Amino acid sequence: MYAHRTTLHIGASLAALLVAGASHAQVTGATPDVAAPAAAGATEQYEDIVVTANKREQNLSDVGLSVTALGAQSLANQRIATVADLAQVVPGLTFAPTPNATPVYTLRGVGFYDSSLASYPDVAVYIDQAPLPLPVMTTLTAFDLERVEVLKGPQGTLFGNNATGGAINFVAAKPTDQLEAGVELSYGRFNTFEAAGFISGPITDTLRARLAVKAVNGDEWQHSYTRNDKSGRADNIAGRLILEWDPTDALSVSLNLNAWRDQNDPQAPQRIAFTPQNDVSGAPVIGPFNPAPGGPVPYPQASYPNAPRTARAADWTPEFAPEQDNRFKQGILRADYDFGGATLTSLTNLIDMDFRNTTEGGGTALRDLDLRNDQGKIKSFTQEVRLAGDTANRLRWVIGANYERTTVYEDTNLAYTDTSSTYVNGIVMSSYFTDQKMKNYAAFGNVEFDVNDQIKLKGGIRQTKAKRWSEAFNGDLPQYPILSSDQTFAGTPGVTLTDFFNTLYGALSGLYGGPGYQIPTIAPGGSIILDTRGLVLGDPSANNPVDPATFLTAANVFTKLNEDSTSWSVGVDFKPSDDLLLYANVAKGYKAGSAPHLSGAIFDAYAPVKQESLLDYEVGFKAQLMDSRLSINGAAFYYDYKNKQTRAKFVDPIFGALDKLLNVPKSTIKGAELEISARPSRGLSFTASATYLDAKVKEYTGAIGSQAVSGVLVAELASFEGVRLPYAPKLQYSFRADYDTEITSELAGFVGVGVNGQSKSYSALVLQGSQPFGADASLYDINARTLVNANIGVRSADDTWRLSFWGKNIFNKYYWVNATQAYDTFVRYTGRPAEYGLTLGLRM
């Protein structure tokens, strides 16, 4: 027997170095895991859902908060491998990609749409309570998990000042007391191979370890609709090593090491409309700075075909085909010491990430706002120390302090040779960078008190100081003069950004500064960003500079934010019976301000947004009925949302509609949600959930167009009162049915079907019926959809192996998750087409 186990150990160890798999913990959630049928005559048991919403393990039915939890088998059945997948099965949660291939998460209508690497999200993400502070860090986290918890509403008191929308906590599968190993191999559409596996067990009497690895490799899923070309290959690998050491009964230490490399091709968007930002009606020159030989120049973008309405059709610039190489390393060290009445916890988190990608912007084979190279370097360090009282007492408390330091350097090379800006101005590309440093200091406390067996009072508070420093540059690429390939579409050499702006600023000197004034010349390699803050067009004598030292001078932009906030929460839980919990909470959360990463020509484009706040009034219930065979959870909430942060259009005086960060002063979100889980018979389970949202702007005035005044463009403004918030569909829903049954004494079968969808939503703040910056408002619609997933298979009675055939979006529904204006074109990012495959899992 000993020799046999040794052989298994060695074989599993070799397999785990190549593959990784999900644990099979029987934890139920929004889509419950279906346990193997009990032996004949046995009583079927239903295991409680355990979550860490309050940074300690609790039965979900005892937590007076809105939490959705999915166990390992639920994640496996539904092929959930990313937060984007999670958003399809958790109503209230949405996912949107950006042109920089950075993800945006929105929960109950609360989200921060920005593509910068350095932008904190409104929906905070954690792995074993350690923060992944920036969305780009979350890409390959969802493997070998025990469960995923989605906490809805502001979570600022326990989970930090950047969780106004909520928090997603990935709970990694932990080392086991006995030797266990598993392998999972999948083959699916687009020739996609997935290999996953783990090995776990004791090393000594006090030390346990778990090693998990996952790798994916597949062919391209997108194809060009104008030529023979493909994009969208899958190529990534991720690994996790967890060590747990218990040297004494009082002390426990764990080390969690995560690493991944993502070389997937970023998605190319679909061009769906032509929205030129400059007049391209056939003028006989490229522009005043770049005369074209001969007569009128055909503008290639004007005759380019739009993409067909199929998920796989797209286009991209061949010279800058989408690609990426992102590398992530993380170390989490946790130590808990039990003093016998109080436990001291230290949580140290260190992250190092390298980011590099090339993405398509305008959805064509032309150079139309393409990121020819976007690279970044991220370092993050967090330290939390907390002291918690005995959870068995009537009075439960925790106090602590938290520190975070994150630095982000991002450098982007932008190619726009075939835009209308080149037609008018002759410029073809630019380079811009930001160097940002963020520090957050916080102290927090949380308390719960059982008044009696039925009533519990609770409250929490966190005081936070958030600091951010940013330096921004926009100018020429270092390799200028440009190569012959960097020509305008008329065949003439492009104008350097430095030459263009020196000419432009020379022409505007008198208008901006008065007679005889000369804007200082930009030196080669210098920033072209002009400080026009305090400028009064048409009356230079009335200029009121914000900073006289930089006024009407081109330079790097330096910004600083120094903000304080006090997050708090109060609530009461009432449990009239063991099977029913009623709760009422009021909570206020904050998200720190942010500075942008973008290509701007004036200081105003780089103005940071200040912190946003959200006040949540919420009531809910959790009911366990029919001996826990039926669970019903519901909640209703009202959000008073102030200074919502978003990326939106503003009017650059030279180039028209460009992006910047803005605050929406006041918004409100009213909503309700319902989750039902039923197990009517052995092996059969149903779940259903839905979220309703009424998320609207209450006060905001924004730009919808531009007009020329004194030779420069100024914004046309309008009120956005009543406009729906982005990525906040009125209705999201999910339904899942699973059946697992014994076929023979040694064989069982299983089948599952999931349906999820949403009503129409919008990708930006837009006035319905308007045409902001030449784009019809309807282009910002994100279509309603219903998607169907399914799986069917067989397994051994003891679940040591299982074989399943699965499908996602099996009816090949065409839908999209984002739509945005990319200067002269309007593009959308489609959802994945139908996918299907076969998975074999082995466990020992």
* CA pseudo-torsion sign 770, 784, 85, 613: positive
Question: Whole-angstrom Cα distance, residue 486 to residue 116?
Answer: 26
Report the 10 Å Cβ neighbour count for 460. 22
Return the CATH class of domain 2-484+552-843: mainly beta
- Give me the numbers of helices (H) and strands (E) for the chain, helices first please: 6, 43
- 807 near 754, Cβ under 8 Å? no
Domain ranges of the chain: 2-484+552-843
The letter for the amino acid at 482 is I
Between CA 620 and CA 612 the distance in angstroms is 25
Return the pLDDT at 123: 94
Least confident of 26-35, 52-61, 333-342, 750-759: 26-35
What is the per-residue pLDDT across 409-458, written as a single tens digit (0 to 9) for each? 999 999 988 888 888 888 888 999 999 999 999 999 999 999 999 999 99
Q: What is the mean pLDDT of residues 52-71?
A: 81
pLDDT recorded at residue 21: 35
| Distance between CA atoms of residues 481 and 516, nearest Å | 32
Q: What is the pLDDT of residue 48?
A: 60
What average pLDDT does the segment 361-366 reach?
Answer: 94
What tens digit of pLDDT does each residue of 100-159 get? 989 999 999 999 999 999 999 999 999 999 999 999 999 999 999 999 999 999 998 888
Which residue type sits at 145? Answer: L
pLDDT at 302: 86
Return the pLDDT at 294: 52
**First-to-last C-alpha distance (Å) of the chain:** 14
Residue 34 scores a pLDDT above 70: no
Tell me the β-bridge partners of 202.
208
pLDDT score recorded for residue 489: 75
Mean pLDDT to the nearest integer, 44-71: 74
Question: How many Å apart are CA 90 and CA 756, to the nearest integer?
Answer: 9
Closest by Cα among 591, 442, 560, 566 to 133: 591
Mean pLDDT of 574-591: 95
pLDDT of 201-258, one tens digit each?
999 999 999 999 999 999 999 999 999 999 999 999 999 999 999 999 999 999 999 9
Q: Where are the beta strands (DSSP E) in 476-579?
A: 557-577
Condensed to tens digits (0 to 9), the pLDDT of residues 157-188 reads: 888 878 899 999 999 999 999 999 999 999 99
Query: What amino acid is encoded at 454 in this protein?
Result: Q
Burial code of 700-733, b = ≥16 C-beta within 10 A, e = fewer? bebbbbbeeeeebbebeebebeebbbbbbbbebb
Confidence of residue 524 (pLDDT cuts 50, 70, 90): confident
Q: Is the pLDDT at 36 greater than 50, yes or no?
A: no
574, 581 contact by CB (below 8 A): yes
Please enumerate in sequence order all residues whose Cβ is within 8 A of that of 319, keeping only pairs 6 or more positions apart, or say none: 367, 372, 485
The CA–CA distances, whole Å, from 299 to 280, 283, 468 equal 7, 10, 43
For 776-832, how does the pLDDT look when each residue is reduced to its tens digit (9 = 90+)? 999 999 999 999 999 999 999 999 999 999 999 999 999 999 999 998 999 999 999
SS3 sequence, 173-241?
CCCCCCCEEEEEEEEECCCEEEEEEEEEEECCCCEEEEEEEEEEEECCCEEECCCCCEECCEEEEEEEE
Instruction: Residue 64: name the closest of 635, 723, 757 by CA.
Output: 635
Residue with tokens 């059969």: 684
SS3 233: coil
Rounded Cα distance, 719 and 321, in Å: 40
Residue 193: which of 153, 233, 240 has the closest Cα?
A: 233
